[in-house]
Structure 1
Amino acid sequence: MRRLLAAATLCLLAGPAFAQERSILVQSTTSTANSGLYDHLLPLFSDATGIRVDVVAVGTGQAIKNAENCDADVLLVHAKPAEEAFVAAGYGTERRDLMYNDFVLVGPASDPAGIGGSTDAKAALARIAETESLFASRGDDSGTHKKERALWSETGIDPTAASGQWYRETGSGMGATLNAAIGMDAYAMTDRATWISFGNTQDFEVLVEGDTALFNQYGVIPVSPEHCPDVNAEDAAAFADWLTSVAGQSAIAGFEIDGQQLFFPNAE
């Protein structure tokens, strides 16, 4: 509601030219924003359609809540079960696979739990718990945190029983959590795009990767006009259509940092 009132005020102040401008608001996971993907994609979309895209980058859980409260035209996050529940509850029109990468476990070169080189994420987490090696968790209901909690659950271990001891919950975004992990010499789980674009790795390394359980799928969902009557449904659909089109998927595939592709398109 605050967004709509602000937009109406600006329209009155700026006159007819502003009122005719097309724009949408995307509630997004932080990894797509912090990696620089939107800086690459959005100018291409705006040039093709004339639609401006504003992005709010927060953890997936918060992004979903914001969209449920009608403070979004489009949702772009990475927690598929929560996304499917969002659509099933009538908040979104449809969910489409968009792209993927993977999660990795990172930690100091000293590797106190001895997990380096493992391709078994659950076994690595169990070893961290067994040795009571420090682990920094986002603890913020983000997509990364949801995946981490699911992996712990599959090991049969509840790390929150050791909260404040070897298990440290930051309640922060991925960058802040990585900084905290590095400051504590603690392990952490991160999406690979954030890790590649992260500028403070110091002696930390990717220690566990390649497990299919670490697959990281992103989805795009236009917010339902039946639930949110003021949503910009037409332009939201245009954005989802473009992202999943040949042009959008090619643009996603073409985004690289230091020669490394960060996201892999897989829209049907």
Structure 2
Amino acid sequence: MTAGQSGGAGAGLFNSHTYARSRRLVSDAVLVVVAIVWLGPYAWMTITSLKTLPEITRAPAYPLPQALQLGAYREVLQAVPVMRYFANTVFMATAIALLQIALALPAGYALAKLRFVGRSAAFVIVLSCLLIPAQVTFVPVFTMLGSVGLVNTFGALILPFGVSALGTFLVRQALLSVPDEIIEAARMDGAGELRIVYLILGPMLRPTLSALFLFSFVFHYNDYFWPLVMTTDDQVRTLPLAIALLREQGTGVRWHLVMAGNVILSLPVLLVFAAAQRQILRAVTARI
């Protein structure tokens, strides 16, 4: 190789390295901007919760508090029974998520691995259920639950969401990538269908099930509409309803209390997401 060829190859390698580095810097800069956009409202909410109400009304756009004030959090804890509402909310959201997983596994298994007449039609019906919001069906569901005395109980909050069309779809799609030989080998070893579904395929779908648990938990933890129409007293009401009570009528919105309540409301969701993020990334990368 001549000196000119060696120099050209070195220049090409340098340019390629520079291009890759510049591309990575641009990508990192875009990710930082996106992160700021997503985290900006939460940061603003947290900062506002550390201000006093006069400070907020006097300069609502000023970004930083004059001094860190934790009085709003003390007032929230004194104004409403936060721990009772919090326990109700966590119990409801966790029960719904676990029930959806328990029912989505056999449903997705049937649609992905079993052969029966009408399987395609059943899958279309499942997809159609994704288009129907709960607000459309709450009147007949409320009437049915009222007729059996379940209104204002945890059963009214949990049972209507026990079957998840999204969960069935996710499990079905994940099972399509599982070789049929694994199921046939388990059958030859004498395993029943339920054992195959829960003890063999369940652990294999852990990333998908973790993502389903997170989606379900976050959605129902933050749900305001269904607990509002299905509960009548504080025994089974959830935390989003308690936060709504902080908007005192007649004297204006107490923004420092509302923001402090929302910070308390969002903390468990952030913890659940932090615990499940590794499984979610595995589920996403497995589909790419």
The TM-score by the shorter chain falls in which range? under 0.3
Give the TM-score normalised by structure 2. 0.26
Higher share of residues assigned strand:
1
Give the TM-score normalised by structure 1. 0.28
